[in-house]
Amino acid sequence: MPRFAANLSMMFSEKPFLERFDAAAQAGFKAVEFLFPYEHPAAEIAARLKAAGLQQVLFNAPPGDWGAGERGTAALPDRKAEFREGFRKALDYAAALSCPRIHVMSGLKPAGMAHDTMTATLAENLAWAAEQAAPAGVKCVIEPINHRDIPGFFLNTTDQAAAIINAVGPEKVGMQFDLYHCQITEGDLVKRVEKHLPLIAHMQVADNPGRNEPGTGEVNWPFVFKKIDELGFRGWIGCEYRPAGETVAGLAWFAPYK
Ligand SMILES: O=C(O)C(=O)[C@H](O)CO
Ligand SMILES: [Mg+2]
C-alpha cells in the first residue's frame, strides 16, 4: 500500500506550524515532511515528532533568499560556498530529526548562464553533498519543477534529473518525483514513474489544476496510486498540496491508505 506523509508547510495551515505535527498524527499520518525547519530549533521539532509518534521523511536545504524569489543555489556557480554552508546546516537538522532525505533545489537560471555550466555545478555540489550526507544515512534528492509554479527554474523534466543523477551516481543522489509537476510538464504519469523507478527516492502529490488534494482535479489517483504500488515503489509520497478547504475535511481520499 502507498505510504503518505503530510506536508506541514501546506497542510494543517489552520494551525501554527508546531501544532501541525499533532494534527497530522490525529488525522492518521505516520510521517511528515515540510519545506524548511530553520525558523525553529531542531530540538523543538524533534520533540513534536516524538510526542506525536511521527517520522520526519524529508525537508529542504536552505534555498538562498526565498523571500526575494530565490529557489535554491545548487546549480549556481557563484554560490558554491553558500550552498555548502546551507547544506551543513540541513545535515545538522537531519541528524536531530532522524530524517533520511534532504531536497536540494537547483535554483533559477540566470540570464545568459550556460546550461552546461549549471549542470556541471549541480553535479559537483551534489557529489560533495552526498559525501557529507552518506555517513549520516541521508540521501540528497533533486526535483524537476514545472515552469508555471516556478518560472525559470533550472530543473524541469524527469529525464533532465535522471541524467544528472546517473552522472553523479544513483547511490548518492535520488529523484524527488513530484507527480503534480510531472502532470503539468510531461504527463503520462505511470509510464514516467515506471521509467525512472530505480532513481526515485521520494514522491509528492497534488492534483491539477489548482494544486489541491487528490480528487479535486484531472488525475485518476486511485489508478495511479495502485500502479505506483504495483511497480514496487516503497518510499514515501508527500502530500504537498494546498487543501481546497479545511485540511481534515479534504482527507476522504486518504481513508483507504491509513
Ligand atoms: O515546489 C515543490 O514541489 C517542492 O517540492 C519544493 O520543495 C518547494 O518549491
Ligand atoms: Mg514538490
Per-residue pLDDT tens digits for 39-79: 999 999 999 999 999 999 999 999 999 999 999 999 999 99
The pLDDT of residue 89: 98
From 36, 145, 156, the mutation candidate for ligand 1 (largest count of ligand atoms within 8 A of CB) is 145
Between CA 237 and CA 15 the distance in angstroms is: 22
Between CA 178 and CA 183 the distance in angstroms is: 9
The pLDDT of residue 108: 98
Indicate which ligand has the atom closest to the C-alpha of 146: 1
What are the tens digits of pLDDT across the range 174-217? Answer: 999 999 999 999 999 999 999 999 999 999 999 999 999 999 99
The pLDDT of residue 213: 98
What is the mean predicted confidence (pLDDT) over 242-250?
Answer: 98
The pLDDT of residue 5: 99
The pLDDT of residue 69: 98
What is the mean predicted confidence (pLDDT) over 108-119?
Answer: 98
CATH code of 3-257, in short, is 3.20.20.150
* Residue 33, ligand 1, Cβ within 6 A: no
Average pLDDT taken over every residue of the chain = 98
What is the mean predicted confidence (pLDDT) over 238-245?
Answer: 99
What are the tens digits of pLDDT across the range 25-50? Answer: 999 999 999 999 999 999 999 999 99
The pLDDT of residue 110: 98
The closest residue, in CA terms, to atom 7 on ligand 1 is 35
Q: Which residues are catalytic?
A: 143, 240
List, in order, residues 6 or more apart from 164 with CB less than 8 Å away. 119, 122, 123, 126, 142, 155, 173
The pLDDT of residue 6: 99
Of 186, 228, 175, 180, the C-alpha closest to 204 is: 180
150 CA from centroid of ligand 1 (Å): 9
From 11, 34, 60, the mutation candidate for ligand 1 (largest count of ligand atoms within 8 A of CB) is 60
pLDDT band, residue 121 (cuts 50/70/90): very high
Contact yes or no for 200/183 (Cβ under 8 A): no
Sole residue written with cell 549556481 = 76
Between CA 174 and CA 127 the distance in angstroms is: 12
**β-strand partners of 72:** 106
Instruction: Quote the percentage of the chain above a pLDDT of 70.
Output: 100
Instruction: Quote the percentage of the chain above a pLDDT of 90.
Output: 100
